[in-house]
Structure 1
Amino acid sequence: MSIILTVRRIDIEETLNTTPSVLPQIKMTAQLNEDRIWIDGCFDFVHHGHACAMLQARRTSNNKENSMLFCGVHNDAAIEYNKGTLPVMNAPERYAHARSIRWCSAVVEDAPYVTAPEWMDRFGCQYVIHGDDVTLDANGEDCYTIMRKMNRFKMVKRTYGVSTTDIIHRILTHNTLPSTDKDYFPTLDELEFCSKGVDGFSNHCYVFQDDLNNMLVRGGYDWDSTNSVLILGDFDLFHMGHIDQLKKIRNVLEPRRQIIIGVTSNESKEIIMTIKERVLSLLSCSFVDGVIIHPSKDTIENSSHDEKSKFSKVYNIDSPELVDGTVFSGYLTSRTIIARIETQRDMYVERNKRKGMPI
């Protein structure tokens, strides 16, 4: 049996990523396709671990031109029932964030917590992809038992060292990794892997250290700083408030320019996430074309003596011109997210305790 969508692939990627409500209206026939891949989860506090799972899932298909990754995202009620607590980020925030990941072709909202073959069949997905960890439902059963028995399950390597539980733990304890920790900065292999394009194989993002003279990763397009805009910020807890602003830059303010992120450190502010976590999350965003790690003073001020090394324009994330008119940025900030956890501190302390992270 196979499911063939009766619209062109580009229609699916464009339409479903902007108007998810049209999903049930797509006409389908029965035929499964191993190049249509399913991945599902809560996607709470979407971080580079989630993004790397999507990237690995996309790469399970060798069909670079026509592979598609369908991301099933559970609703709040399903998560509360199976995990015992609501997610930190609400359903619209989680749907939108998953949709923004470069390797996600379409988000399927309200996907069942226990992976169901009939849901995968709707979109012609032969296999579901999951990391090498076990996900249990409310009854303590493996959520992928059915798919394993049907030989429609594939495993990829879980990204260790980052999890929603760990991020919540840092917020609760105010205990963050020091910059001297070996995992504070990404390795070159990690940067190269997360800089891949939509197909999961080709190069896309550039990565620089300090300034444009120190290139770490070469991207997949001809570099021209004069045709690029620089967005400055610490991008802590990288969230839809940030992403909405990047989307506005791409679609409204600078539609023909490359978007380069300057990831800064603010010594006067407590930063929850490491440089590695922030940079790899940014590289996975479909509205990002490159990253500068710790941009120098000259880079920030766009004051290079070489006119060819100057950016077309420099923006600061969370500035009024970026926030105005967006959906999420008007209310969602890193402080908002921290407040959500602090106001329900006892619940999250107990939650993390059950997961082996006592305060």
Structure 2
Amino acid sequence: MVDSKVDLKNLSESRIYVDGVFDLIHWGHLNALRQSYELGGKLVIGIISDEETRRAKGICPIYTQEERAEIVMGCKWVDEVMVGVPYDVTLDFLLNTAKCDYVAHGDDIAIGTSGKDCYLEPKNAGLMIHFKRSYGVSTSTTLSRLIESLEFERFYHLANENHQAVSSDFDKALKKNEHELLTEGLTDVESARQLGERHVSYPRCRLSLNLLSKFLSNKDRPGQGKVVYVDGSFDLFHNGHVRFLKAARALGDYLIVGIYDDQTVRTIKGSPFPFTNMLDRCLIVSAMKYTDDVILGAPYKITKDFVKIYGIDIVAVGKYSDSRLIHVKSNPLEVVENMGILRFVDSGSKTTSMEIIKRVSDRIVHIRDNVTDRCRRESIHYKAYE
């Protein structure tokens, strides 16, 4: 939805400003960037500062503003990133600081630190563009799952005193994890009970192939160039993932990213992983500028046949990982190591998913109370669209 005062013909020559916190990045964030990019022109992204976020939402982000900026800059639809911007977008900031012609935002209302619409001035000036908000995904829902897992001590079997993954009864744990896949997050509510149905207590991804196709790269494989392959869960996507993809892509001419399916992640890491499902993770990885192709349901153990089928020349592995979480003792890289195509890359980032989980754990009480309130407000908002 475009304001009637916006000149559609000039959008391709304009600078369009989009801002946000972009914490615990999810496909909804990236879909907003995609839609803004398709308006035409240069896409300038403002990363709201840690302090402004605390003032507006009552809580500091899990990722620092620099980490959030690095992730967003890795998105293939982004031209520029501004770090540490204010929550409220004034006309002076839009035109003179960001030097942009228009501001774009989802079709939901955004309340700023003043308690008013944070885009009020650009709206009144006819410089506001709305795109469709992505429903069924939010930072709050991911945080809710993290908090639930921490409070119910579902990480108890992940590490011992030597920081090695352990499980006294892995088969039993795996069966429990598979059962949780079917029941986790489901609660009876009166209306659903009367219909004999189950009700999902938090929004889930409802992914269409049409949306997926808009995220995928159309780049053809190089005729003589080197094909690089990496794999992983890419759960709780962070700046370390972005740096790793960038470093791996630099090894060749075409980067294929293999993403483990949900059951594989649960098998190798245990419950409560993964926190985001495979399709969600696929969209995030596909939106990165370094990704040329994605393989869904990639095998944990790479075989010679797999290498041959996909024409892989190099298999890249990061120096830092959550390897201490892995239950499976076999070496999944044994074959490619023997083939002489394994390369270790140092992305320069020591960030791992477990570090992100620890950040949540260290502030769990404050985060829980804040997220509970945000989820309640989001639930009310979603119901308005039913």
Q: How many Å apart are 1:183 and its aligned residue?
A: 5.4
Cα distance change of structure 1 residues 306 and 163 upon mapping to structure 2, 3 Å threshold: closer
Amino acid at match of 1:239: H
The percent identity for this pair of structures is 26
- Choose from 343, 366, 371 the match for 1:347: 366
State the Cα deviation string for residues 97-144 of structure 1 (Å, max 9, x = none): 111111010001122210122232245422111011221123321111
1:82, CA displacement in angstroms?
Answer: 1.5
Pick aligned residue for 1:47 from 21, 26, 33: 26
Query: Counterpart amino acid of 1:76?
Result: D
Q: Distance in 1 between matches of 2:38 and 2:308?
A: 39
Question: C-alpha distance in 1, partners of 2:346/2:294?
Answer: 24
Taking only aligned residues, the RMSD between alpha carbons, in angstroms, comes to: 2.9
Partner of 1:268: 268
Task: Check 1:117–1:227 CA distance in 2 against 1; reply closer, same or farther (3 A cut).
Answer: same
CA deviations on 1:39-76 (whole Å, 9 max, x unpaired) are 01111112211111011001112xxxxx2100011111
TM-aligned CA deviation for residue 32 of structure 1:
9.8
Aligned to 1:228: 227
Q: Distance in 2 between matches of 1:315 and 1:150?
A: 50
Q: In the alignment, which residue of structure 2 is the partner of 1:159?
A: 134
Amino acid at match of 2:108: D
Residues 351 and 232 (structure 1), Cα distance of their counterparts in 2 relative to 1, 3 Å cut: same
Letter in 1 for 2:39: T
Contact 1:183 1:276 in 2 (8 A): no
Q: Taking structure 2 as the reference length, what is the TM-score of the superposition?
A: 0.69
Please say if 1:277 is aligned against 2:280.
Answer: yes
Residues 206-264 of structure 1: CA deviation (Å, up to 9, x unaligned): xxxxxxxxxxxxx232466973111011111111111111112234xx1x421110001
Secondary structure of 1:286's counterpart equals coil
- 1:277-356 correspondence runs (5 A): 277-296=280-299, 300-304=301-305, 307=308, 309-318=310-319, 322=344, 324=346, 326=348, 329-330=349-350, 332-356=351-375
User: Partners in 2 of 1:322 and 1:189 — Cα distance?
Assistant: 36
Query: Counterpart in 2 of 1:193?
Result: 214
Tell me which residue corresponds to 2:4: none
Match of 1:216 in 2: none
Q: How many residues align?
A: 293
1:128 counterpart SS class: strand
Aligned partner of 2:284: which letter?
A: S
Supply the distance in 2 between the matched residues of 1:288 and 1:89 (Cα, whole angstroms). Answer: 23
**Residue of structure 1 equivalent to 2:255:** 259
| Pair 1:222–1:92, CA change in 2 (3 A) | same
How big is each residue's C-alpha offset from its partner over 1:318-351, in whole Å with a ceiling of 9 and x where there is no partner? 558656351xx21x11111111111111101110
Question: Where does structure 1 lack aligned partners over 5 or more consecutive residues?
Answer: 1-30, 62-66, 196-204, 206-218
- Report the Cα distance in structure 2 between the residues aligned to 1:347 and 1:104, rounded to whole angstroms: 33
Per-residue CA distance 1:267-316 (angstroms, 9 max, x = gap): 1322111111100000111111110001247xx52412895743011123
CA distance in 1, matches of 2:131, 2:214: 15
Q: 1:302 to 1:158 in 2, by over 3 A?
A: same
Matches within 5 A, 1:23-172: 35-61=14-40, 67-122=41-96, 123-172=98-147
**AA paired with 2:249?**
R
Cα distance in 2, alignment partners of residues 87 and 138 from structure 1: 16
Alpha-carbon distance in structure 2 between the residues aligned to 1:56 and 1:183 = 21
Q: How has the CA–CA distance of structure 1 residues 319 and 78 changed in structure 2, closer, same or farther, with 3 Å as cutoff?
A: closer
| Cα offset, 1:354, TM superposition | 1.7
The alpha-carbon deviation at position 194 of structure 1 amounts to 1.1
The amino acid that maps onto 2:232 is G
User: Which residue does 2:324 correspond to in 1?
Assistant: none
Please give the per-residue CA displacement for 1:147-184, whole angstroms capped at 9, x wherever unaligned: 11011001101111111111100111139983799956
Larger Rg over CA atoms: 2
Residues 304 and 32 of structure 1, relative CA distance in 2, 3 Å threshold? closer
Question: SS state of the match for residue 167, structure 1?
Answer: helix
Q: CA deviation at 1:33?
A: 7.7
Structure 1 position 187, deviation (Å): 3.1
Taking a change above 3 Å as real, the CA distance of residues 325 and 317 of structure 1, as seen in their structure-2 partners, is closer
**TM-score w.r.t. length of structure 1:** 0.74
